[in-house]
Amino acid sequence: MRLDQLVRRNLRGQRVGASLTALNVALGALLVSVVLLLRSATAGAFLHPSRGFSLIVGPKGSRLELVLNTIFQLGQSPGLLSYGVFEELERHPSVQLAVPYAVGDTFRGFRVIGTTEAFFDPRFPYPSADSPQSKLASGRPLRCDRAALRAALSALVSAPGAAGAMGAVEGAPEPAAEAVVGAGVAAALDVRVGDRIEPTHGVEAGGIAHRDRHLWQVVGVLARTGTPLDQAVLINLDSFFRIADHSGGIVPETNEAGLSAVLLFPKPGVHKALLLSQLNKRSALQVADVDAEVRALLGIVGNVDRVFFYIAVLVVVVGVVSVAVALYNTLASRRRELAILRILGARRRTVFGMLVGEAALISALGGLAGFLGGHLTVAAVSGLVEQSAGFRPSALVLLPEEVLAYLLVIGAGALAGVLPGFEAYRSDVASNLVPPA
């Protein structure tokens, strides 16, 4: 019989007490696990969708608001940016790709974004793009007719509100109102390539219908990305501006049609820094570095979850201390057992190791139960989190931080066994061999 077997037998002998002590550790480990999983999911929810973006240009205001509105589809657009800025940026020597973004409509609760085929350009690596087609699960990218776009823009500027129904711009070529829907939209509303959809005005769910009835032909369905893009409907920008209700989308200062934002992909090297410095000097616009803004946001969120994490660690510490207290309290009744082991030839260090081993095993079992419980808890509340926060934490991931935390729990547990182990170490053999009266 080895020491580890003896440790297991001892714990089996004190099943109820050991289980209750392990439960203390388990509660702490559960909290740590839940906090770590939610923190990782929160970071993932912000970092994953922002991957592939570089700079976002928008009207002056909050950069974070611009990023949240453009990438995460949260809140209202902070304002409008002249379409001319987009054309200027498209030609800027530091820019390799500019993608226009115009929001303002919804389709049965899903946000509609007016953009061009630039969205499907492989230089826009979001969410992955070896080719325009690789962004699609089915169909083809939408096409934006530049001539029709110019006509719609001039009609919008010359007679706001009079652009009229689709295709009603005088002399304009027959418009192609095309839409590409996100994977989530396609799944939720059973929309397929070839269907016709009718967005409504306003970004909130239940928006009002346009004055005239406009229908978009679905030409593609985006591949699933696990980002807010899954919940978006892309339409070609020319059709977006041809809607009469979008006459409000004019920047008063320039009397130009407005965009919500421009996604900017600088050329490699110093061009990103150059663009940031140049554009932020301009009074009418600002440029947000997506990575920096998201990390700043995570820093704010991190402060809150750090507090939760410390509370969870405190609960683990209380649990581990309870292991020490429980073992210490049982020592009085176990002195005879320890003396018997010594008389059989066990060394002092063996009984010390046995107590430390018991503490470590209680902590290991409690910790394991806690971490499993944490994953089950996250699985149980993931739907609720998705409803309220917009992302679904996964219970099926094992984080390196969890493994580290588990090892620390075992280590702390072993440490908790040192004091009772030392008491056992010092325990006198001869006086403890006699059973208590």
Partner 1 sequence: MRVLVEGVRHFYGSRREHLALDVARFALDSGAHACVVGRSGSGKTTLLNVLAGVLVPCIGRVQVGDTELSALSEPERDVLRARNIGCVFQTFNLLEQLSALENLTLAQRFAGIAAEPARRRARELLEQLGIAHRESARPSELSLGEQQRLAIARAVSKGPGLVLADEPTASLDDDSARAALDLLLACCGGGTLVIATHDARVIERFARVTSMVELRHR
Give me the residues that bind partner 1 (CB under 8 A), please: 1-2, 6, 9-10, 12-13, 336-337, 340-349, 429-430, 433-435
Residue (14 or 82) nearer to partner 1, CB = 14
Shortest Å, Cβ 9 to partner 1: 5
Sheet hosting strand 81-82, strand order edge to edge: 81-82, 256-259, 250-251
Nearest residue (CB) to partner 1, 65 versus 423:
423
**Please, which residue, 9 or 123, has the CB nearer to partner 1?**
9
- What gap in Å lies between CA 29 and CA 315, rounded to an integer? 8
Smaller CB distance to partner 1: residue 13 or 75? 13
Nearer to partner 1 among residue 340 and residue 407 (C-beta)? 340
Contact (Cβ atoms closer than 8 angstroms) between residue 253 and residue 284: yes
Q: Examine residue 127 and say whether the peptide bond preceding it is cis (omega within 30 degrees of 0).
A: yes
Shorter beta-carbon distance to partner 1: residue 140 or 348: 348
Give the largest Cα separation in the chain, rounded.
Answer: 110
Both tokens of 164, joined, read 């009229």
Is residue 251 within 8 A of residue 258, CB to CB? The reply is: yes
Peptide bond into 100 cis (omega under 30): no
CB-hemisphere CA count at 13 Å for 22? 22
End-to-end CA distance of the chain: 31
Closest distance between partner 1 and the C-beta of residue 74, in Å? 60
Smallest separation (angstroms) from partner 1 to the CB of 428:
9
Closest approach of partner 1 to the CB of residue 299, in Å: 53
Query: Residue 361 Cβ, how far from partner 1 at the closest point, in Å?
Result: 14
Nearer to partner 1, 82 or 330 (CB): 330
Here the tokens at position 127 are: 């969410």
In whole angstroms, how close is the CB of 431 to partner 1 at the nearest point?
9
Asked if 44 and 387 touch (Cβ cutoff 8 Å), the reply is no
Using alpha carbons, list the distances in angstroms from residue 327 to 29, 85, 331, 334, 358.
20, 72, 6, 10, 8
User: Cβ closer to partner 1: 1 or 208?
Assistant: 1
Strand partners, 263: 56, 99
Contacts of 326 (CB under 8 A, 6+ apart): 17, 18, 20, 21, 362
User: Shortest gap between Cβ of 434 and partner 1 (angstroms)?
Assistant: 7
**Phi/psi at 215 (5° precision):** -120, 135
* Least distance in angstroms from the C-beta of 12 to partner 1: 7
